[in-house]
């Protein structure tokens, strides 16, 4: 059987072949053009890299200067009165009246509060009655002593007159015993009088202490009682008032870190600020650096006291203050910026090896690696000591190091004690990468 469709298929194939030939040719042309452009771009980039001269490094500098330097230590703390007294009550009872309030100025002996004394007054009356009874008992025993004394004298007289025949030894001994008992009763009665007098004085003292007096001249800082309130003084005297003797003279208690306490000494000057007056600086003077330590959050600190003049009464107890303590002052010193002492020159790269590795150089430009001067910085930090260091200057277009001996620093500038540096000389403080 003959295939009748083969002529038709041949026609279709021919038509498709004629239609696809121009499209394939156009696709090949575009591919060839893209390859040529890519090769040209790669060649241009390679030759640009080879012919581009190495850029000259640029550095940021700051001058050496001469001036004054202050080494300051910062510490925080709170203000407190020089002498603060807490007034309490030794007695338990009900507050009858309160006669002082907050911010009142009080004098020594002024009444601050009164306790209800009804019970104490009754005890005083009872003790006085007991004292009177004891004194009457003494009078009674004295009369008994006198009576037994006369009886003994009468027996002794009869015994002498009868030459020992009218009075027996038993009667004489009984009379002497009666006199001894009467004398003992008198002594006991007198002791009871003393005991009763002491009890009366104790109760009268408690009655006097029921009135709370001010022990100092000062200002009432706090009051913690109200009329009608019950005061219980069983184990500890409750605090009723807090008094400050003189708010014109105050103390600032700050905590100095253990790393700085070796530089802090008495009589050093300081300034401090408080949040209530952020634009004002208050002067102070260190009066004491205590040896006892405190550990808060793993940090060891030492309490330091500063004397503060508060004549205008602008400062108040409890305010939080930030103090700047001047531990050292240097005048007319040669100063260099601390950034110059920290500067370490970058490590130079090998240009020949970069040129030899053309492909790697292209990749390095497209994907730059981090600087490899960290080992040099680490080595410089390990070799450097606190006093002997070095700085860098630019001479004839290249870096030159100059050894220096450092002294005090305030965090921004450092004193130079020995060096060939001169004021105004520019020191390298940082490396500035030029823009392409």
- The most confident of the ranges 347-351, 422-426, 432-436 is 422-426
Give percent above pLDDT 90 in the chain. Answer: 59
What are 51-91's pLDDT values in tens digits? 555 556 788 999 999 999 999 999 999 999 999 999 999 89
Residue 350 reports pLDDT greater than 60: no
Whether the per-residue pLDDT at 158 is higher than 90: the answer is no
Q: Single out the residue of 253, 244, 247, 249 nearest to residue 306, CA to CA.
A: 253
Question: For residue 56, what pLDDT is reported?
Answer: 63
**What is the mean pLDDT of the segment spanning 364-393?**
54
CA distance 37 to 53: 26
Percent of the chain with pLDDT strictly greater than 70:
81
Any idea which residue has 């009444």 for tokens? 111
Does 377 have pLDDT greater than 90?
no
Q: What is the per-residue DSSP string for 208-271? A: HHTEEE-SSSEEEEEE---TT-EE--SSSPPEEEEEES-TTEEEEEEEEETTTGGG--TT-EEE
Does pTM surpass 0.85?
no
DSSP strand pairing (299-309 vs 249-257): antiparallel
Instruction: Report yes or no: 256 and 87 within 8 Å, Cβ to Cβ.
Output: no
């Amino acid at each position: 059987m003959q295939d009748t469709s083969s002529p038709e298929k041949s026609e279709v194939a021919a038509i498709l072949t004629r239609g696809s030939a121009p499209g394939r040719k156009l696709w090949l042309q575009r591919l060839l053009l893209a390859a040529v452009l890519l090769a040209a771009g790669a060649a241009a980039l390679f030759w640009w890299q080879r012919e581009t001269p190495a850029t000259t490094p640029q550095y940021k500098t700051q001058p050496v200067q001469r001036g004054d330097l202050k080494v300051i230590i910062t510490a925080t703390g709170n203000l407190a009165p020089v002498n603060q007294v807490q007034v309490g009550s030794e007695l338990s009872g009900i507050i009858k009246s309160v006669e002082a309030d907050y911010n009142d100025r009080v004098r020594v002996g002024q009444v601050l509060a009164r306790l209800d004394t009804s019970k104490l007054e009754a005890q005083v009356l009872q003790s006085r009655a007991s004292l009177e009874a004891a004194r009457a008992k003494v009078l009674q025993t004295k009369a008994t002593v006198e009576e037994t004394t006369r009886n003994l004298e009468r027996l002794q007289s009869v015994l002498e007159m009868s030459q020992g025949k009218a009075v027996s030894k038993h009667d004489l001994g009984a009379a002497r015993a009666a006199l001894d008992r009467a004398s003992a009763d008198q002594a006991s009665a007198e002791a009871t009088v003393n005991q009763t007098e002491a009890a009366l004085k104790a109760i009268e003292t408690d009655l006097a202490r029921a009135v709370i007096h001010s022990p100092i001249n000062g200002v009432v800082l706090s009051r913690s009682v109200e009329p009608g309130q019950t005061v219980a003084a069983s184990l500890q005297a409750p605090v009723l008032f807090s008094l400050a003797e003189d708010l014109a003279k105050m103390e600032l208690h700050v905590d100095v870190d253990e790393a700085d306490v070796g530089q802090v000494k008495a009589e050093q000057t300081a300034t401090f600020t408080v949040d209530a007056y952020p634009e004002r600086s208050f002067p102070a003077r260190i009066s004491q650096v205590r040896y006892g330590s405190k550990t808060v959050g793993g940090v060891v600190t030492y309490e330091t006291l500063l004397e503060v003049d508060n004549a205008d009464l602008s400062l108040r107890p409890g305010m939080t203050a930030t103090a700047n303590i001047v531990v050292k002052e240097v005048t007319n010193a040669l100063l260099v910026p601390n950034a110059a002492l920290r500067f370490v020159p970058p490590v130079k790269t090998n240009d020949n090896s970069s040129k030899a590795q053309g492909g790697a150089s292209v990749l390095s430009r497209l994907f730059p690696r981090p600087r490899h001067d960290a080992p040099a910085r680490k080595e410089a930090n390990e070799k450097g000591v606190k006093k002997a260091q070095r700085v860098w200057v630019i001479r004839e277009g290249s870096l030159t190091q100059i050894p220096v001996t450092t002294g005090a620093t305030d965090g921004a500038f450092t004193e130079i004690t020995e060096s060939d540096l001169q004021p105004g000389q520019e020191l390298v403080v940082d490396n500035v990468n030029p823009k392409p």
